[in-house]
């Protein structure tokens, strides 16, 4: 008799991750159709995601909790794009900075509805606001490490205050994407990537692009 191979049971964490992905897709679809996050009920989100209301509340306390969890997913995507520069910063190639900026912009474009909701809710929901700042602080910390390493290697200007510079550049990219992308079509994205690359490179590195 042939043996039957049983699949291992799905863990709670895996099930939660699956539901988060479905809810992220559902939230972005509904918001792309014109709904605001504050207007979306738990029932509507659950139905769009193909789960029950009861399943929603097994994993999430409320919509604010859901938004905080989705923020982790979206910012993970942004960080993956930024790694195109951070991960190879020692090469000191402006093309790497441009690749990272283009990837970050593409992520903002892809997740624009949810990022807009996150930014708006951060203004009046203390927990969402704390999550948003924490995620950006984490990104700023990675930029700070790039600056420190570049200063040690003699490629980045030593007079720059590391933490303040990293924070300023992080929030500049965030605000540029948040404020500009909703008002422009995708044809604008390459211009913004070039502008951000020039600004970041000019602010940090001792030799200009092209030299």
Task: Say what the pLDDT of residue 112 is.
Answer: 87
Beta bridge pairs of residue 156? 205
Helices and strands (DSSP H and E) totals, the chain: 9, 0
Quick one: which of 46, 54, 18 has its CA closest to 30?
46
Main-chain phi, psi angles of 131, to 5 degrees: -65, -45
How many angstroms separate the most distant Cα atoms in the chain?
75
Task: Say what the pLDDT of residue 211 is.
Answer: 59
Q: How far apart are CA 184 and CA 189, in angstroms?
A: 8
pLDDT tens series, the chain, 211 aa: 455 555 566 677 788 888 888 988 888 888 888 888 888 899 999 999 999 999 898 888 888 888 888 888 889 999 999 999 999 999 999 999 999 999 999 999 998 888 888 888 888 889 889 999 999 999 999 999 999 999 999 999 999 999 999 999 999 999 999 999 999 999 999 999 999 999 999 999 998 886 5
Q: In this structure, what token pair is assigned to residue 9?
A: 């049971």
Main-chain phi, psi angles of 101, to 5 degrees: -60, -40
Q: In this structure, what token pair is assigned to residue 198?
A: 């020039």
Task: Say what the pLDDT of residue 79 is.
Answer: 94
Give the Å distances, CA to CA, from 129 to 3, 46, 143, 171, 187. Answer: 53, 24, 21, 14, 31
Cα angle at 15 between 9 and 20, to 5 degrees?
165
Task: Say what the pLDDT of residue 11 is.
Answer: 78
| CA atoms within 13 A of residue 177's CA, in its CB half-sphere | 25
Structural domains in the chain?
A: 11-60 (1.10.10.60), 68-204 (1.10.357.10)
Task: Say what the pLDDT of residue 122 is.
Answer: 84
Q: How far apart are CA 11 and CA 19, in angstroms?
A: 12
């Amino acid at each position: 008799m042939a043996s039957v191979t049983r699949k291992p049971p799905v863990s709670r964490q895996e099930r939660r991750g699956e539901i988060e992905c479905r809810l992220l897709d559902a939230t972005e679809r509904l918001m792309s159709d014109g709904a605001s996050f504050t207007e979306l009920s738990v029932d509507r989100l659950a139905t769009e995601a193909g789960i029950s209301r009861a399943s929603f509340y097994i994993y999430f306390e409320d919509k604010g909790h859901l938004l905080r969890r989705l923020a982790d997913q979206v910012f993970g995507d942004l960080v993956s794009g930024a790694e195109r520069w951070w991960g190879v910063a020692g090469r000191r190639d402006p093309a790497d900075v441009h690749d990272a900026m283009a990837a970050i912009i593409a992520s903002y474009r892809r997740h624009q509805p949810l990022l807009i909701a996150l930014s708006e809710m951060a203004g009046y929901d203390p927990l969402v606001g704390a999550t948003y700042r924490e995620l950006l602080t984490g990104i700023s910390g990675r930029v700070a490490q790039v600056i420190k390493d570049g200063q040690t290697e003699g490629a980045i200007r030593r007079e720059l205050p590391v933490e303040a510079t990293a924070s300023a550049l992080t929030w500049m990219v965030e605000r540029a994407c948040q404020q500009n992308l909703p008002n422009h079509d995708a044809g604008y994205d390459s211009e913004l990537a070039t502008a951000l690359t020039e600004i970041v490179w000019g602010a940090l590195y001792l030799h200009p692009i092209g030299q």
